[in-house]
Structure 1
Amino acid sequence: MTGEAVLKSRQGVRIRETVPLTGMKRAVADHMVTSHQQVPAVSVFADLEMDALLAFKKDKLDPVAAGTGVKLTLTPLVIKAVAMALGRFPLLNAIIGDGEIQLLDEINIGMAVALPDGNLIVPVIRDVGTMTLLDIARESNRLAAAAVAGNISLNDVRGGTFTISNVGAVPGTLWQTPLVNHPQSGILALGRVRDAAVVRDGQLAVGKLMGASLSFDHRVISGLPASEFTAFLAELLRTPEVLQ
């Protein structure tokens, strides 16, 4: 309408709409700035072979899950594998506090959940190393449903020691460089499972691969053991029987 003031950015560009940076969005924004400023993060990337895991899930786990009424996706299997890898590489399950690196005695994995309003929340599955795959599936389903419904409790988002983010729902997304969830020392972002050319026994074949991006606090762990973590995780996923 003629006569109305035109809002412009500091660079003089017209503003179509403003979105208040308040509530959860402001809290997430502030936390991400803190993480980016305080954590000297480095990322390593890997392609994880998923053929054996997919076959194991279909042939061995899905029939059991169906009998219990539990919805089983790939996520609980990856969470279990990550917990086992963290047991082998405890510096990725650590924080810096009081001038020292503190190796944590619990493996509590946060799983990033995108909310319908575009916000992000990270519910925490506690003591994953002591849980069965079906237990992890039940808890991850409960937390995801509570997060989307807005019924998540403060206790459900506290105490995380490592975070997993899954961007596989977005077509074409293979890798990203996730921000470490301060004060944690590591975060793993997973991409979409895709068909890709692989070499097996010297022969070209089509395999199922999933991109993985590990960002880590370089003050706590260096590049070699971080890369060894992803290699060990890849081996666990190639031999999924060990996840039971």
Structure 2
Amino acid sequence: MATVELKMPKMGESISEATILNWLKKVGDTVEEDETILEVATDKVDSEVPSPCNGVISEILFEPNEVVEIGKVIAIINADGSTKVKSSLSEESKPSEKVETEPKETIQSTKGIISSSEFKFRNSGENDGFLSPLVISIAQKENLTIEEIQSIDGTGEGGRIRKSDVMQYLKNRKYPLPSRPQANVSKSTYKAPPISFVEGKDRIVEMDRMRKMIADHMVYSKHTSPHVTSYIEVDVSNIVNWRNRVKEEFLTKHGEKLTFTPIFVEAVSNAIAAYPMINVSVDDKKIIVHKDINIGMATALPSGNLIVPVVKNADEKNLLGLAKNVNHLANSARNNALKPDEIGGSTFTISNVGTFGSLMGTPIINQPEVAILALGIIKKRPEVITTDKGDEIAIRSMMYLSLSFDHRVVDGFLGGSFLRKVGDELEAFDINREI
């Protein structure tokens, strides 16, 4: 029986090592040719390593989370000889029947297809998010967009998308969805300044995988969209007073907590309906206007990382429906139980920076959207208001709203008008509203 050395595959010219994420097989397991054995990751891409032959795993040389140099042997497979090993035998290896597998190049992302590493971030729910090179190849060939891939239900282990899942989707495919816009940004020649490090005082903390992906996504957004931020101040006294009065009754009647978030989502949905050109994406020189109003909610995870669950078709839900949806998404995010279709497809995002005590914020656009709204903390302040008796000073609940928008397609008039509309929706809230 031939012995096959499985080596850490090459991940790109500039990458010299990779981290083992997870072994999908253990010693003694039978594997088939091209069956995935383990998952590996670098700071740029996640990938699967397939078996080069049919056989049995006889030895695993590294554990999960260990960093391994490219080309180093990571496992030994006893090939059963029924299939030809995908690597030619060298003259030295023939006598001992030991062969070396050629490392496979990691498939890189192309226009319309998200990289495997970011796909993992966007789908950190029931589906583990990894795409095999075969699935990526089919998706590229058929011009599948990110949203289409996310919509496919995987039937493989852990909810993974298999070739048969993609082919079934293509068979019933009705229309393509817009792909993610790609930025053509040249690399900067600027040399980063050195970082001072004091041995024994300072310490180094490695970014976890999600943090690296968030960092890449934020830098991509800044490189892609020229950001402009506008601010307004809003009197939300009616909302605060109404919620304080009905929240216990709302919980008793509907079994749902009433937070401010569904009220904010409702106001944003109404404003988008009035200004639909804020609900768009940019694809090169074309503007894609989305019919659905899907509101993403930037949500902090217990780990300190960030995820954006999505309220789908927010304009079609009443306040109770929004409250149920928002509570479900928030609870699922805290328990790491979000499903893939609950964190994809947003067309506009809100970020409640007031949760952390911030007065206001300058949020970064969640690509491929063109705007994001930050909601500041609600604070009571003395304000001058106009009454039937004239101008008076009263204690009011005030909040700052800040809208960051993509100046490629959203000018000051549209951005300012939309932001003012959100403010008007909040200030015009009916304090006598039924629940």
Paired with 1:54 and 1:39, the residues of 2 have a C-alpha distance of 35
Paired with 2:370 and 2:218, the residues of 1 have a C-alpha distance of 14
What is residue 330 of structure 2 aligned with on the other side?
Answer: 144
Q: Runs (4+) of structure 1 moved beyond 6 Å? A: none
1:40 maps to which of 211, 226, 232: 226
User: Which structure is richer in relative contact order (CA contacts within 8 A, separation 6 or more)?
Assistant: 1
Question: 1:37 is aligned with what amino acid?
Answer: H
SS at match of 1:54: helix
Paired with 2:427 and 2:344, the residues of 1 have a C-alpha distance of 32
TM-score when scaled to structure 1?
0.90
What is residue 197 of structure 2 aligned with on the other side?
Answer: 13
What is residue 3 of structure 1 aligned with on the other side?
Answer: none
> In the alignment, is the contact (CA less than 8 A) between 1:56 and 1:240 conserved in 2?
no
What is residue 44 of structure 2 aligned with on the other side?
Answer: none
What is residue 81 of structure 1 aligned with on the other side?
Answer: 267
> In the alignment, is the contact (CA less than 8 A) between 2:294 and 2:345 conserved in 1?
yes
Name the structure where helix makes up a greater proportion of residues.
1
Deviations 1:38-66 (A, max 9, x none): 00010001111101122333445652443
Paired with 1:41 and 1:241, the residues of 2 have a C-alpha distance of 34
> In the alignment, is the contact (CA less than 8 A) between 1:197 and 1:205 conserved in 2?
yes
In structure 2, stretches of 5+ residues that fail to align are 1-192
Question: 2:399 is aligned with what amino acid?
Answer: M
What is residue 318 of structure 2 aligned with on the other side?
Answer: 132
1:190 maps to which of 371, 375, 386: 375
Cα deviation, residue 17, structure 1: 2.4
What is residue 211 of structure 1 aligned with on the other side?
Answer: 400
What is residue 5 of structure 1 aligned with on the other side?
Answer: none
Paired with 1:240 and 1:62, the residues of 2 have a C-alpha distance of 19
SS at match of 2:430: helix
Which of these two proteins has the greater Rg computed from alpha carbons? 2
Alpha-carbon RMSD: 1.9
SS at match of 1:192: coil
> In the alignment, is the contact (CA less than 8 A) between 2:279 and 2:293 conserved in 1?
yes
> In the alignment, is the contact (CA less than 8 A) between 2:354 and 2:360 conserved in 1?
no
Cα deviation, residue 129, structure 1: 0.1
TM-score when scaled to structure 2?
0.52
> In the alignment, is the contact (CA less than 8 A) between 2:384 and 2:394 conserved in 1?
yes
Cα deviation, residue 220, structure 1: 1.4
- Determine if the alignment matches structure 1 residue 220 to structure 2 residue 409: yes
Aligned identity (percent) is 34
Paired with 1:108 and 1:14, the residues of 2 have a C-alpha distance of 47
CA change 1:150–1:37 in 2 (3 A) is same
Cα deviation, residue 98, structure 1: 4.3
> In the alignment, is the contact (CA less than 8 A) between 1:107 and 1:127 conserved in 2?
yes
- Determine if the alignment matches structure 1 residue 110 to structure 2 residue 296: yes
SS at match of 2:223: helix
2:429 maps to which of 216, 240, 244: 240
Paired with 2:248 and 2:419, the residues of 1 have a C-alpha distance of 26
SS at match of 2:287: strand
Deviations 1:163-201 (A, max 9, x none): 000111223x21111001111011001111101122111
What is residue 95 of structure 1 aligned with on the other side?
Answer: 281
Moved more, 98-107 or 111-120: 98-107
> In the alignment, is the contact (CA less than 8 A) between 1:65 and 1:134 conserved in 2?
no
Paired with 2:247 and 2:313, the residues of 1 have a C-alpha distance of 21
Question: 2:393 is aligned with what amino acid?
Answer: L
Paired with 2:204 and 2:370, the residues of 1 have a C-alpha distance of 34
Paired with 2:208 and 2:242, the residues of 1 have a C-alpha distance of 45
Paired with 1:119 and 1:64, the residues of 2 have a C-alpha distance of 31
